[in-house]
Chain A
Amino acid sequence: DIQMTQSPSSVSASVGDRVTITCRASQRISNWLAWYQQKPKKAPKLLIYAASSLQSGVPSRFSGSGSGTDFTLTISSLQPEDFATYYCQQPNSFPLTFGGGTKLEIK
């Protein structure tokens, strides 16, 4: 199984800050990496697929990068609606696996 490790597990930031979340895969997964945002009591929402492709309708302040085993999600200028939990996932090799999540909180 491919293990996905996210860091940090939580981060505090202010509106307007730039935030980066990292995700590491236990083996090379090329660019098979997705990022999701989940707000309390809501279903997850796909933000990024194929490591760096922005899902339709997602604001351009979200970006993804990386290949192989190391990936990052960057939010260029935090907005109030961005405070949520973020998950990475490798979606193309079974069993599908997620990182443990990064909770982004208001400072």
Chain B
Amino acid sequence: EVQLVESGGGSVQPGRSLRLSCTGSGFTFGDYAMSWFRQAPGKGLEWVAFIRSKAYGESTEYAASVKGRFTISRDDSKTIAYLQMNSLKTEDTALYYCTRVKATRGDYYGMDVWGQGTTVTVSS
């Protein structure tokens, strides 16, 4: 079964850091781009970060709201994608989803596998 499982969420104070992990199984993890999204309570979906596969240099993209504070990375040997979140703000409070990207030759069609999400709460 193709699966993504997030972990690492929790409650932190503003300005602190947190690292989310996303463990993939049931597919060749290294062949896929991966992406993180978030959803604040009662709100819509927001893209956060994106990392291409090794074949595309593991290059990354970030939403403007997190650029310079968050870092996406991957360890294909462990089939894990990470989201390092520094200088957290109250507005980062959300349910964070890890996704697998449906792609062909560098074109992206959507997110075809989603994890169950991990909750991040930033509050003093």
Q: Which of A34, A43, A99, A101 contacts B110 (CB 8 A)?
A: A34
A92 near B47 (CB under 8 angstroms)?
no
B108 near A92 (CB under 8 angstroms)?
yes
Q: Write out, one digit per residue, whether chain B residues 93-124 have a CB within 8 A of any chain A CB (1) or not (0).
A: 00001000110000111111011110000000
A87 near B45 (CB under 8 angstroms)?
yes
Query: What is the bound-complex CA distance between A55 and B108, given in angstroms?
Result: 14
B-facing residues in A92-106 (Cβ within 8 Å)? 92, 94-101
Query: What is the bound-complex CA distance between A85 and B57, given in angstroms?
Result: 35
Is A16 at the interface (CB under 8 A from chain B)?
Answer: no
Report the minimal beta-carbon distance from A104 to chain B, rounded to whole angstroms.
Answer: 15
Q: Contacts A45-B114, A46-B111: A96 and B97 contacting too (C-beta < 8 A)? A: no
Q: Contacts A43-B97, A96-B47: A91 and B112 contacting too (C-beta < 8 A)? A: no
Contact count band on A:
20 to 34
B116 to chain A: which residues have CB within 8 Å? 43
Residue of B nearest to A99 (CB): B44
Q: Which of B46, B50, B97, B101 contacts A94 (CB 8 A)?
A: B50
Residue of A nearest to B104 (CB): A50
B44 near A101 (CB under 8 angstroms)?
yes
B64 to chain A: which residues have CB within 8 Å? 95
Query: What is the bound-complex CA distance between A87 and B37, given in angstroms?
Result: 13
Q: Contacts A97-B47, A98-B47: A91 and B111 contacting too (C-beta < 8 A)? A: yes
The residues of A with any CB-CB pair to B shorter than 8 Å are 32, 34, 36, 38, 43-46, 49-50, 53, 55, 87, 89, 91-92, 94-101
